[in-house]
Each structure stands twice: as C-alpha cells, then as structure tokens.
Structure 1
Amino acid sequence: MLVRSASCLKPFQRASFATAARLLSCVVTESLLRAIFIPICSNDLKGIAVILNSDTSQTGPVRAQDVFAVIPLRDIPFLKPDNHAEIGLLDPLDMLPYVYEPKPLDSAGSPVSNGYPKEIYKLKATIQTAVYEFGLSDLELTPSPGPLHLWSKFAEHRRLGKSLEMDVAEELRNSMEWQQYAYENLPPMPTFESPSILWEQCIIEGHPTHPMHKMRRTLPPINEIAPGEFNWQEPHVRMVVVPRHRLNIQGPWDDYITPFIKKVRNIGENPLAILPTEVLVPVHELQIMNILEKFPEARVLPEEYSFVAFAQQSLRSVIIPAVMQATHLKLAFGIRLTSAVRTISPASAFLGPRFSSQVVPNLIYDRSLMIVQRELASVSSVHPDGEIAKHLACIVRECYENTCEEEHNERAIVCTALVETGYGGSDETPLVQIVFGLDDQEKRVAWLDRFVDLFFKAFLPSVIANGVAFEAHPQNTLARFDIRSKELTGFVVRDFGGLRVHERSVIESTPLESLEGVIAPGHSIIADTLEDVYTRLYHTLIHNHLQQLIRVLKLHYNGIGWEIVRSHLEKQIPGGHELGKLWLAPETETLPGKCFMRMRFQGMYRTHLHAPFLNLIHYKGSKDMN
C-alpha cells in the first residue's frame, strides 16, 4: 500500500523529505522554477507535479532533459487561474512523501532503495505511465538522492556561484540533521493541562515552508554543536557585568534586574560586588565566547553565577522561574536559525520599550481579545559597529503565559504547536485535533470558524485604524483558552521585530505627533505605504498562519476553510476600505508573498523580498481547479 504519511518513513528519510519538500515548495511558489500539473486517476494520488529546469522554454514542447523533479500529489494543488496546467502555489502538505528525479543517461539497473519502502517503485510505474501520456516517453525516473542533490542541481542551473551553493548546502544539511534528531527524540506530547512552556517545547517540525526550518548553525567563535551535545530546551543564563557607560539602557532596567542581583550576591563564599557604575546583563551561555571576543570591557561572572532557564520555541527567549514570574528574557546569540543570526540589533533594543510605552497604549484594538506582550526594558552595547553591538543585548518582556492560569483561568498555547502532526501517527493527526477532540468535520468547521472570527477581530483593527500590523505568525502568537471549557478566548502577540508601521497613519489616528524618538531612523519596521503594511499582514495572517491551520484541519481542498476566511473578512473589513479592495477584489489574483529562497540568494533578512503569490483568499477548493 502507498505510504501517504512521511511519519511511516525512517527518521533519516523522513527528515530528507521534510527538507526537500520545503525547498521544492519555495522554488515553485516563488516562481524560480515552473511546475506542470498532470492529473492521475488513482485512489492513491490525484496527480503529479513535474518541475521544470529554469532554462525550459515557456512555449516549446517539454523534453525529458527539461525535467528537474517529479512529485506525487495527494490532491490538486492551487493552479494558476489563467493556466490550469501550471501550478501557482505548491505547499509541502500537497505532496506525498516521495520525490523523483530523471535518471542519468549513463545510469544502468535499479537504483539502491536507501531505506525507502518498496512501494516507491510501484508508485514510480504509475507516474511513469502519466509522463509517457504527457509526451515524455524518454523520461526514466529514479528516487531523488535528497535535498542536497536537488539544491546542487538547482544552483548549477541558476549559476548562483560556488560560494553561495556551498553555504546554502551546509544550511540544508544542518537543518536535515537536526530534523532527523527531532524525529528520533520526540518530546513529550502535550495535553490541554500541560503548562505553556511544554507546548513551546513540543515543536517537532516548526516552520511549514522554510527549507532551513530546523537549522541550528553556530558561527565562530561559537563551536559547532552536533545534535545531542547541548540541551537547547534548558540552557543556562550566565551573568555579565558591563560598565554602565558602555550600554544604552531603555526603560527601568535596574528594577527588573534587581532580583538577579539579589540572587547572585548570595552565591559563593564572598558577596559579589556590583557597583552603581556597573550593570548586570543576563547572557545565553552559548553567547559567552562572543562576549569574551568582542567586549573586553565586560566581566563574565563564573558559571556558579548562572540560572537554569526554559527556552520557548525561538530558543533564545527564555523563562527563569527562580527569578522572574510575570516577565521573561529575550537574549542574543550568534547562531543562525532559519533565515537569520539571532542577535538583537541596537535599533530593536531601542524600539521595544518605547513602542510599548508610547505607541501600544494608543492603538485601537480589543484588549479583551488581544494581549500585546510589552517589552519593558532593554540594554544594548554602544559599540559603534552595529554588527558587533548586536551581540551584547537583552530585552525584558511581559510573559502573560506564566501567570494566566492562576490569574485568568486561561491556558496559553503557542499556535505553532497546534498544527504539529508528528504525534498523530500514520494519519498525521494534528495536535489541535487530538487535544480538542475534533473527530469529525462538523467539529473542525465550528472550531476553525471561532478561531478565524476572533483572530481577525484581534489583529485587523490596528491595521485598519492605525496602519500598524503585528507579525502574527504562529511562533509569535499564542492562543488563549478557557481552562474549564477549552473555548478560545483570544490571543497573545509578542516580538516587535516584524512589525509593519505606517507612520503617517499612526500620527493621524492617535494623539502622537511624531514617532521620532520611538523608532530609530531607517528601521526595517517602517512601511512607506499602507499597501506595504497589508502585504506583511497577508504573509503572516493568511499565507503562513491560517493556511497551515486550514490544511491540517482538512478544510483546504474542499474549500470550506477559505470560505470561512472570506466570510469573516467581509464582515470585519469596513466597506470601501483599501484592505478589502486589495485582498477581496476578484481581480486580485495574486498578492506579494515573502520569498525565503530569493532573500537567501541576496543575503536579506530584515528587508523582505516579494514575488506574486496566488491569493489564497479566493481559493474555492480543488474541485474548481479541474
């Protein structure tokens, strides 16, 4: 029988497919390579995606040498409205866990299975028949060696240069290695009663489409860390003493750091002296090598002056129950996770406390539905080189989830965890379905309808009224549920690094006369136009957040999930508003989408690069794609 779930594969092959599927999703959706859809009449699959090389003619006949890869599909993907033979949006969840490539002309005999189930060859025969009927009678397929081979072939076709090719190959290898380790060492499956931090630490796969979604790439002077060598979930927070004049301090930093000072003074035989001219700064233990190398003025306290922390999904935001109750720390470390080295720029450290105290109180949104976790205080180095200064910084942020059970009878669950499918066995049942008992379509529809209703009511008002979009992707967003009834009550949003702010709209809609002194000049969160704000909002709310939730609830291909989205958008966006004109107008067949691979080619992170993505809001289901 054909394997429909990657969870049935061995961990190495499962990790290989997870990385390859995200890579292929990006190259097709970002229009780096064209993909043709060929329907197949089979109980096991609905068709195949034939991905073509970049130099393939748009109009001429397709030849065997034009084929880059072939993927069997569980259903009909989102096809281009003007060409129902070409795929416009390809998601990893569209794919069955097999990838084929053309067999080299000089290859003889059957390829080694490398641990794949024998069904892969039966499937190949079905696909081979389809490509013959498509006119590719000279195309012989073989199972793909994996994402590194696919990337090497792509980079060669695109002439990206050896340096970039090798650098990205190392990132893909690293991501695949850590993904395999995650599959081999599954964290405990949370229940509704599990504390919020356990939900943060239950993530198996994480980002749904980023090819480097599990990367943990250390950069010098931090030594390389192999899977199993470091406990990312329970790091130690070290203490560093820095001369006060060498730091920019925002907010009442000393007040929030006093509990640490009191604790460290009682450690060891001799009381630790911290002068009024000095500041205590918590630092992630992996960042100590960077501190020693880059900041000779900093005094690193011995390891005995450290605290056990519990890492949230981002790995560098941590709670420290022994010291902090209603707050937690966002730390900097020189490690590349997905697309960026996770340091804290001086501009971001400057922004958080000022935006929290001056802008957030003036924004229009329902405070019973959305809780904005304010950044209360920060420190950052005054080093003149921002690329160095970003390695010594720390932010104190509110932590609603630490106290919400006792104070509000709520459970806060990071939304990434809701869509995790690694615990569901061969049928890929997501945690949201397991934990909330969504065992039939009627329950799933009702649950999603409430989620979308409150989601838009929480996040749209500040966009519509103030021109401010919070980056509400699943890692930044926590869903709040009533402890007794399990009913969704609202959301928490955190992290201001991905905000989009249209300055003129904020000034016109609030008592603020200027954002000068709140946002550093040239900061990446400033949007030149309102359309720029709506673009960021579409990526985080629709393409990233709701798409995966709708897919795992099995409400994508039947179109029901997107009908719910359209219904609530039409209700909640005022008539005639530009957001509605952009998102809901029938002629808006595409919207700018964030391009992870194109950005990687350009070395971009803070500044986004966009390409036209098919507008999921208009999706009616695969039945309309025929």
Structure 2
Amino acid sequence: MNAIFKPSKPADHACRDLCTELSLLDAGQRGLQRTLQALFRENLLPRAHLIVEEGIAWLPLWSQQGLLRFEGLQIGGIGDCQLSGSIAYYKTGERPLPVATASVLLACIADSLPGQMPADDLQRLIGELDNSLENDALCLSYRQSWARRLTTELGTDGHCFIAAVRNSALKNPALLLEQWGTLGHPWHPTHKAKLGLTADEVVAFSPEFQPALEVPLAAIRSDKAHAAFSEEGADYRLWFALTFPLMWSKWEDRLNQLRQDPHAWLPLPLHPYQAQQLIPHKFAAEIAAGDLLLLPGVSFTAAPTMSFRTVVPEGSAELPHVKLPVSLRLTSVQRTVSPKSAVMGPRLTRLLTTIVAHESGFGETLDIVGEDVGLHYIDPDRDDDRARHLSVLFRANPMRKCTEALFPVPVGSLFADSPFGGRPIVTDLVGLSFGDHPNGALAFFERYAATVVTATLSAYLLYGIAFEAHQQNSFIMVNQRYEPAQLLVRDFGDLRVHAPTLQRAGLELVAYRPGFTVFESAEPVRDKLLHAVMLCHLAELALLLSRTYNHPEASFWDILRRQIENVFDRLRARTEPRRWDAERRALLQGDWPAKSFLRMRLTDCSDDVHGHMPNPLKIAAL
C-alpha cells in the first residue's frame, strides 16, 4: 500500500466524544458498503475477478501483489452490494490488515485504480470519506435516544410508526418523517460529508438532529435583485408581507429604525451558516456600498428538511419552505441556489400546473409542490457563480396537500428503520395496506410502481418532462388504507425537458440560458428519468422489499416491467410513433445510465458523469 494514502485524522475530536463505539462501527460498515458498491458498479474494481468459495470472496490486486478478502459479500444484478461480514487486505510479506472503513479500503486499493489518479485527489477523497463516516456516526448516536423518545411519545398505536405519526397531534408530521428519514443518498460513498463544519455545527444545522435554526432576514436594495413568480403580475414585497406577516413586521420596523424606506428594499432570508461565515466577506463590497443590509436580531425560527438547505419556518404545516444557499460542500457539491433555479423554479411551476390540470394529474397519480417565488442578487458583472450565494427560492408546503383522504410520506423515510421495531418503515405501509408478508409486499409494489410509473412516464412521453423524482424529492401520497395513491414531486432544479416533445404538445418553455433545463436531444432527458426515478427510487425500493421479505428480485422487476409496458400501451395513440418505439426500447431493452459518484469525487467534478449498467427489466424478461 502506498504510504502516502492514509486515512485522515478527524478534524474535530468532538465527534469521538459525541459518538458511541457502536455507532462508529455501524457508520464504518455503512460507508464501506456504499464505497464498495461504487467501486464495483463503476468498474473501478473488476467484479469479474472475484473468486468466491463458501461465503468468502477474494479479489486479487495483481499490480500491487495484494488480495482483498470479503466475508458475506453479495452483489446483485444491478450492482447493488450487501456486506454482512468483514474485509481484510493481504499483501505479500505483511500481516493482514483489517479494513473497517471506506477510507482504509481506498488507501488499500489506490495503486490498483485505473488510470493515473493524482495523489492529492486520492487524499482529498479519503478525507471526505472520513468526514462522512464521522457525521454518520453522530447521526446514528443521536437516533438511539431519539427513537426512545418517539416510542414514548407516539408508541400508543401498536408497533406501526406511520400510523402513529399520521394519527398524532404533531404540527407537521411530514417534517418529522423527513428528519427521521435523513439517511443520505443510497448510492453515494460520501453520503454524509459536510466539509467545513465542526461536529457541533453538524449537530446545530443538520435535519437528522432536529435543530431549531435562527434564520436571519437581511435587506437587499430593490434594484439589485430580480424576483420571479409562478403567477403573472405578483409583487414580492406584498407577497412576503401577506405570507409572513410577523417576519415582515419585524423587518419593516428595523428598517424604519435605521431611517430606511422599506419600499426601497426587499427582504432576503439567509441561512445562518451563510450569514455568519460567508456573506460578510464575499459581499463586503455590497455591504459597504449600502446595497445589502444585515439586520442583527431580525430573524425567524425554522427547521431543516431532508434537504439541509431547505427550511420550514416555525416548523409550520402551512408556510412555504425556504430554500437557501449554503456555500458548503455537502455530499459532493456546494448547495447554493443559482439564478437559474430562482428563475426557472417559478417558470416550471407555471408550466407543470397547466399540464397537471389539463391531464387531471394523469389519472390523479401526479401532483407537484410548486416553487412559487424566487429571488436572486443581480451581480454587476452578471456573474451567476457569485450571485448563487445570495438568493432564495420559496416552495409550497407539502403538508398543504394533506387531506382526510391523502397523507404525504417522504419517500426517503420509507428506507429508514422504524424507531418502534427497527424494520424499514415501508413495512408499515405494506402491512397496513396488503399484509406484512411476501405476497403483500408484491401487491404493495404493484400499486406503488403503477402510481409512480404512470405519473413520471406519462409526463415524459407526452410532454418530454423528466422529473428528478428520487427519494429526497418525492412524497408518496397514501390513502386511508395506506395504499400508494399519488406521487407528489418537488424540487425542479435539475428537471429536464425535451423541447421537441413539449412543442408537439403545443407548449413551450423559455430556458434561463441555452444548455440548461431544455434539451433538443432526448438522451440527457431520458437519462434523468432512468437514473432518478427508475434506479434511485423504484429499483432501490424493489431491492429493499426483496431483501426484507426474502423474496426473489425477479418478481419485483417483472412488476416494474409490466407497469412500464402498461403506460406505453395506454399512451401509444398519443405519442409520436418513432418516439414511442425508441423510448420503449431504451427503457425496456437498452442499458441504463448509472451516475458514477465515486469517479466524480476522484476527479472533484460536480458535473454528472454516467456509466452504464445492465437493464434489470431486460434480464427479467429473459
């Protein structure tokens, strides 16, 4: 092993004080599983070279005269990886090295990675993996006491967490499910990385610790910002005053105290990290020129959602969610709000609202969480890379879609273990709707897939719209019997549109700038649908149900294939023939794109890098 590649030392030793030894071990195993999965899935390690004997797998690393030994390694048909035992590294002439974390694994195999990986990039990624592990351990430690509290507070409804939450007097039950379900991207090796934050700051800002944030409210000169609306003719100041009257009153009073005319200013929320660590120096010129006012003491309390940077004022079930820039590398990229998102969010909301109304939500299977208002700084040099740090997007509250008949469940929460019994929360829905057994799981997935595929594939075939409806961006609306009834989609920042198909439907969408959101080619749009919806959402749910109920994967792939075929059959008469044929072959026969998260981190790239993987639906049909 090259001595330069060493696991990084914890930057903040408070993590070790706050974590239990068990949580560190569990976090290490979770990070190993994701990293090993990425290494094989992205062909950074040759899966074909594995030698398996009686539950033990060996991987020769010929170039460095070493071997990896795996206990309980299982790799599925779409590259999903399960690891129930330990890993050890063997090198000629040396004692075996236990591999307990992802960073140790990467250090062990560094010399066998394809190509010439710069040492600095490898060392940077090792640091990111260790940061992710420590933050995950913090989360797992906190969840132990949180689970006990939830059991005490909500455990009167038998052993069903979802029913207990739905029937509780909680102000915002969907928010609780979001925060409990914040476990990180299922494919991402650095799923909990929050570079630049101390352990105390991770706890203070992250949704999985239920913090109460104090969100400062700044003021920006009216002529220095651009506001966008989903409704024509709206006025930002009036909208803000009517939507957030208490915030507006505090903000207006402070401006009057400063002898500033409120009509010359616009209220601008700032993430507390941004207000403390970035705005004072990055926008020092604007502050000095009197174009941006920081107003100490003017703030509102908010709770973070599954998305670190999106907060809920007062934890309300009514008030809009507020998406704020955070100039930190969270998981893999800085989570800012670009001028494109601030403008296109409302523009897309207007388009999607029209389509959903015209199509009756494709049989009531689709609804959206609108992005109604966006605001961004107008940089004097038109530098959007700078402006993205000073912006905001207001999104409707998903709880406003809650009725007696329908209840919103964040899809990401279905994959989290229940605080009541430790099984995945999706088993609550399976048991309540179709019975807690393998046949019930199949019936549940049939209904779930029918709902999600009808919603997303109909929008794609008829209008060329590919939602980024992965686990974090989706809610499954369940009816009174807890059956899946509707997909509720949020976050249009990476939604993609195939322009020719949208135009064929008699609609148009003006892009913020060429090369973003709207595409002439179908391939990048289809890739979004396949990766976000089919792989990261439906395929992951199929795998979870297969493992949990000990039922063959093939049965779930058969269901998914059948539901896709059903939508193609129903929409054939409404779809341009060549498009219908090409898309059907791509979804059912062609290889599927798989985002290469580890390769992206190795090269420190924020742009999508895709590989390809075998189509599970084609395999199921053989």
Residue of structure 2 aligned with 1:301, choices 289, 295, 318:
295
Partner residue of 1:24? Answer: 36
Partner residue of 2:610? Answer: 610
What secondary structure does 1:249 align onto? strand
Whether contact under 8 Å (1:414, 1:474) holds in the other structure is: yes
Cα-to-partner distance string for 1:218-265 (whole Å, 9 max, x where unaligned): 3xxx77755545564322211010111111111233233114774246
Letter of the 1:254 partner, please give it: R
Partner residue of 2:485? Answer: 489
Whether contact under 8 Å (1:177, 1:227) holds in the other structure is: no
Is 1:577 aligned to 2:581, yes or no? yes
**Take 2:56 and 2:360, find their aligned partners in 1: how far apart are those partners?**
45
Whether contact under 8 Å (1:265, 1:271) holds in the other structure is: no
Partner residue of 1:280? Answer: 267
Seen in structure 2, the aligned counterparts of structure 1 residues 230 and 416 have a Cα distance that, compared at 3 Å, is: closer
**More moved, 337-346 vs 416-425:** 416-425
Seen in structure 2, the aligned counterparts of structure 1 residues 365 and 217 have a Cα distance that, compared at 3 Å, is: farther
Whether contact under 8 Å (1:264, 1:272) holds in the other structure is: no
Unaligned runs of 5+ residues in structure 1 are: 1-7, 42-46, 57-63, 79-88, 108-140
Partner residue of 1:212? Answer: 190
What secondary structure does 1:577 align onto? helix
Partner residue of 2:139? Answer: 182
Whether contact under 8 Å (1:352, 1:375) holds in the other structure is: yes
**More moved, 457-466 vs 156-165:** 156-165
Whether contact under 8 Å (1:429, 1:552) holds in the other structure is: no
Whether contact under 8 Å (1:237, 1:282) holds in the other structure is: yes
Whether contact under 8 Å (2:122, 2:602) holds in the other structure is: no
Residue of structure 2 aligned with 1:530, choices 522, 527, 530:
522
Partner residue of 2:367? Answer: 371
Seen in structure 2, the aligned counterparts of structure 1 residues 74 and 429 have a Cα distance that, compared at 3 Å, is: farther
**Take 1:542 and 1:359, find their aligned partners in 2: how far apart are those partners?**
21
Is 1:560 aligned to 2:555, yes or no? yes
Whether contact under 8 Å (2:429, 2:482) holds in the other structure is: no
Residue of structure 2 aligned with 1:476, choices 473, 477, 495:
473
**Take 1:271 and 1:391, find their aligned partners in 2: how far apart are those partners?**
24
Seen in structure 2, the aligned counterparts of structure 1 residues 327 and 527 have a Cα distance that, compared at 3 Å, is: same
Seen in structure 2, the aligned counterparts of structure 1 residues 235 and 495 have a Cα distance that, compared at 3 Å, is: same
Whether contact under 8 Å (1:235, 1:310) holds in the other structure is: yes
**What is the CA distance between 1:347 and its match in structure 2?**
1.3
**What is the CA distance between 1:193 and its match in structure 2?**
3.9
**What is the CA distance between 1:202 and its match in structure 2?**
0.2
**Take 2:428 and 2:420, find their aligned partners in 1: how far apart are those partners?**
8
**Take 2:304 and 2:597, find their aligned partners in 1: how far apart are those partners?**
25
Whether contact under 8 Å (1:33, 1:52) holds in the other structure is: no
Seen in structure 2, the aligned counterparts of structure 1 residues 207 and 534 have a Cα distance that, compared at 3 Å, is: same
**What is the CA distance between 1:37 and its match in structure 2?**
4.2
What secondary structure does 2:519 align onto? coil
**Take 2:110 and 2:492, find their aligned partners in 1: how far apart are those partners?**
34
Letter of the 1:570 partner, please give it: E
**What is the CA distance between 1:528 and its match in structure 2?**
4.0
Letter of the 1:173 partner, please give it: D
Whether contact under 8 Å (2:65, 2:92) holds in the other structure is: no
Cα-to-partner distance string for 1:409-465 (whole Å, 9 max, x where unaligned): 32101101101137476xx62111135425211111111110011111111111111
Letter of the 1:71 partner, please give it: F
Partner residue of 2:12? Answer: none
**Take 1:521 and 1:271, find their aligned partners in 2: how far apart are those partners?**
38
Whether contact under 8 Å (1:237, 1:308) holds in the other structure is: yes
Whether contact under 8 Å (1:365, 1:462) holds in the other structure is: no
**Take 1:354 and 1:163, find their aligned partners in 2: how far apart are those partners?**
42
Residue of structure 1 aligned with 2:396, choices 398, 416, 440:
398
**What is the CA distance between 1:268 and its match in structure 2?**
10
What secondary structure does 2:395 align onto? strand
Partner residue of 1:14? Answer: 26
**Take 1:562 and 1:328, find their aligned partners in 2: how far apart are those partners?**
36
Whether contact under 8 Å (2:73, 2:85) holds in the other structure is: no
Partner residue of 1:149? Answer: 104
**Take 1:347 and 1:268, find their aligned partners in 2: how far apart are those partners?**
27
Whether contact under 8 Å (2:182, 2:306) holds in the other structure is: no
Whether contact under 8 Å (2:121, 2:604) holds in the other structure is: no
Is 1:192 aligned to 2:149, yes or no? no
CA RMSD of aligned residues (A): 2.9
Partner residue of 1:599? Answer: 600
Partner residue of 1:545? Answer: 537
Partner residue of 1:380? Answer: 376
Residue of structure 2 aligned with 1:255, choices 233, 238, 241:
238
Letter of the 2:409 partner, please give it: I
Whether contact under 8 Å (2:50, 2:60) holds in the other structure is: no
TM-score under structure 1 length normalisation = 0.80
Partner residue of 1:290? Answer: 278
Partner residue of 2:220? Answer: 242
**Take 1:268 and 1:546, find their aligned partners in 2: how far apart are those partners?**
45
Output aligned runs, 1:125-164, within 5 Å.
142-158=97-113, 159-164=116-121
**Take 1:95 and 1:276, find their aligned partners in 2: how far apart are those partners?**
60
Unaligned runs of 5+ residues in structure 2 are: 1-19, 151-160, 166-172, 573-579
**What is the CA distance between 1:408 and its match in structure 2?**
4.9
What secondary structure does 2:373 align onto? strand
Is 1:315 aligned to 2:311, yes or no? no
**Take 2:126 and 2:201, find their aligned partners in 1: how far apart are those partners?**
17
What secondary structure does 1:307 align onto? strand
**Take 1:558 and 1:358, find their aligned partners in 2: how far apart are those partners?**
38
**What is the CA distance between 1:592 and its match in structure 2?**
2.1
**More moved, 591-600 vs 239-248:** 591-600
Whether contact under 8 Å (2:206, 2:304) holds in the other structure is: no
**Take 2:513 and 2:254, find their aligned partners in 1: how far apart are those partners?**
43
Letter of the 1:560 partner, please give it: S
**What is the CA distance between 1:184 and its match in structure 2?**
0.7
**Take 1:444 and 1:329, find their aligned partners in 2: how far apart are those partners?**
36
What secondary structure does 1:536 align onto? helix
